[in-house]
Every structure is written in C-alpha cells, then in structure tokens.
Amino acid sequence: MTNIHQLIYQIRFALEQLSARDAHHDFEHICRHIARARICSNILPATGPVAAGGDQGRDFETFTSYIKNNPIVGSTTFVGLLHDKPLAFACTVQRERIKGKVQSDIEKICGSGTQVQGVCFFCTTDVPVALRHELQTWALEKCALNLEIYDGQAISELIADREIFWIAEQFLGIPA
C-alpha cells in the first residue's frame, strides 16, 4: 500500500513527464479541475483555435454568477465555491525561464479581455518561495492584481487528496 508521501512523489514525477509527452492540454485540464474543486466553481474553459485569437494568456477564467443572491438556490457546493471577483488562470509545462513566462502571461491577461482582480498561475516546475514573492509583488505593482502560483509541489499535494485524486487517475495515469 502506498503512503501519502509516496503518492505525492509519484504524482510529482508524472507531472514532470507532461512536458516530455507534449501534454500541455492535459495539464490545462488538470489545473481547471483542481481550480474548480479547490479555488472556485464558476469557471469557463478557453476554447480555440489559436487562429481565432488564441487564449490571450487565459487558459480559463471565471464567469459572473448571479445565483449566490438567489434565496431559492439553497446551499450547494457550486454556490459555496463561487468567486465574486473576476479571476484568470494560466498554466504552463515550461521548465525554463519561468519568471519570464509568468510575466508574459500576466501582461497578456492585463492587456485583453475582462479586467481581473487576480491570476492563478499553475506550472509543473518548482518555483522557489523568494521568486514567488517577487512575482507577486511585480504583479501587484505592474497590473494591480493578486497573483497566486501553484507549482509542481503544490499541485502534487493538492491532487493527492482523496476527494480529487480522480484527476491524477484520469490525466496522469496514476493507478487507484
């Protein structure tokens, strides 16, 4: 039987292999499902093709929901995870020059589409805490938005949770 630490290491390894398999779309699906389960439920995926203008740095984003204020809705998981401020989400399997990638995607996000108050950036590579804080400060000063970075370590620990482990089974081939 695998313990939680072994499982996290196995997921971490599988995430690193996504780049070698050119599976960036799988990574986007992984991140969207994590976000929907752990960050907010009102998410729209970006749809292509690239020739239609690309995703403009947003692999998925929130949509405005009005049901939170509806008294007949009651208490559902969807309402409980609604985010009332606009967010954008960016994902990459890029390993090199991650600082430049984060800054480039944030500049694209700020330069098009609906104005957002925050960006959640997912990457398979590890981001040292000092770099994460530097990028958060830069995003706040440059674009007046909050930045959260979920790196390979954080994603591995999130997916290892029993409630959303199905994501690792589905997209990373981790056996149940």
Write out pLDDT tens, residues 88-146.
999 999 999 999 999 999 999 998 777 899 999 999 999 999 999 999 999 999 999 99
Using pLDDT thresholds of 50, 70 and 90, give the confidence band for residue 78.
Answer: very low
pLDDT tens per residue across span 16-62: 999 989 989 999 999 999 999 999 888 888 776 544 344 557 888 88
Question: Is residue 73 within a helix (H) or strand (E), and if so which, with residue range?
Answer: none
Q: What is the pLDDT of residue 44?
A: 86
Q: In sequence order, which residues have a C-beta less than 8 Å from that of residue 122 and are 6 or more positions away?
A: 27, 31, 34, 35, 89, 90, 91, 92, 149, 150, 155
Shortest CA distance to 17 belongs to which of 176, 165, 168? 168
What does the alpha-carbon distance between residue 42 and residue 92 come to, in Å, rounded to a whole number?
21
Can you give the pTM of this predicted structure?
0.85
Asked whether 86 and 117 are in contact (CB, 8 A), the reply is yes
How far apart are alpha carbons 111 and 103 in whole angstroms? Answer: 12
pLDDT reported for residue 62: 81
Distance, CA of 122 to CA of 155 (rounded, Å): 8
pLDDT digits (tens, 9 = 90+) for 144-172: 999 999 999 999 999 999 999 999 999 99
